[in-house]
């Protein structure tokens, strides 16, 4: 079983979307995984995902309504095998808390699978309209497709 964490700012838009999308894809593929998401800003701790994130997820058959925002913790390095960040700010924050090279090796940009070596960030839709949430959902879904394919391939090799 693989343990994957997604990290964004408030844990109410991008990271819960990525978590929900990958959860659906892995369930369909039969890949066992423990998935979670978190953020760095405490002002949304305990809150459900943004209504716009829930709406776009629901349109695609992904239910993220039960999620509650939480903060990233150093303990997450012990729990998770892979940690996907949404942008360079999150990357800096996670890497600053990394205790060693093993922790650092777990951290990747979410879009690294789509744009290798580019360190490309996922747009924060919070500041935009519902169309931005749609674009973010589709981009995250495409990245999650590739993560799922990799995990399916690794599972077959075992």
Residue among 8, 13, 38, 144 flagged as catalytic: 8
- Of the chain, the end-to-end C-alpha distance in Å amounts to 12
Give yes or no for a contact between 68 and 47, defined as CB atoms under 8 angstroms apart.
yes
Find the angle CA(152)-CA(118)-CA(124) to the nearest 5 degrees: 85
pLDDT score, position 156: 83
Residue among 47, 70, 124, 145 flagged as catalytic: 124
| Buried-exposed string 108-117: b where 16+ CB fall within 10 A, e elsewhere | ebbbbbeeee
Question: Does residue 8 carry a catalytic annotation?
Answer: yes
What is the distance between the alpha carbons of residues 129 and 136, in angstroms, rounded to a whole number? 11
Question: Does residue 129 carry a catalytic annotation?
Answer: no
What is the distance between the alpha carbons of residues 111 and 63, in angstroms, rounded to a whole number? 22
Stretches where the chain sits below pLDDT 50 are: none
pLDDT by residue (tens digit) across 20-40?
A: 999 999 999 999 999 999 999
pLDDT score, position 157: 81
- Whole-prediction pTM value? 0.97
Question: Does residue 124 carry a catalytic annotation?
Answer: yes
10 by DSSP, 3-state: which? coil
């Amino acid at each position: 079983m693989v343990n994957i964490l997604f990290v964004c700012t408030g844990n109410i838009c991008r990271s819960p979307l990525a978590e929900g999308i990958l959860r659906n894809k892995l369930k369909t593929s039969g890949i066992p995984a423990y998935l979670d998401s978190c953020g760095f800003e405490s002002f949304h701790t305990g809150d459900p995902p943004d209504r716009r994130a829930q709406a776009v997820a629901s349109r695609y058959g992904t239910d993220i309504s039960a999620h509650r925002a939480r903060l990233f913790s150093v303990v997450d390095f012990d729990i998770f095998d892979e940690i996907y960040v949404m942008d360079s700010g999150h990357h800096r924050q996670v890497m600053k808390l990394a205790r060693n090279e093993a922790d650092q090796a777990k951290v990747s940009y979410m879009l690294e699978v789509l744009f290798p070596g580019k360190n490309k960030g996922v747009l924060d839709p919070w500041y935009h309209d519902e169309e931005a949430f749609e674009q973010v959902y589709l981009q995250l879904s495409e990245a999650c497709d590739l993560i799922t394919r990799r995990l399916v391939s690794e599972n077959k090799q075992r």
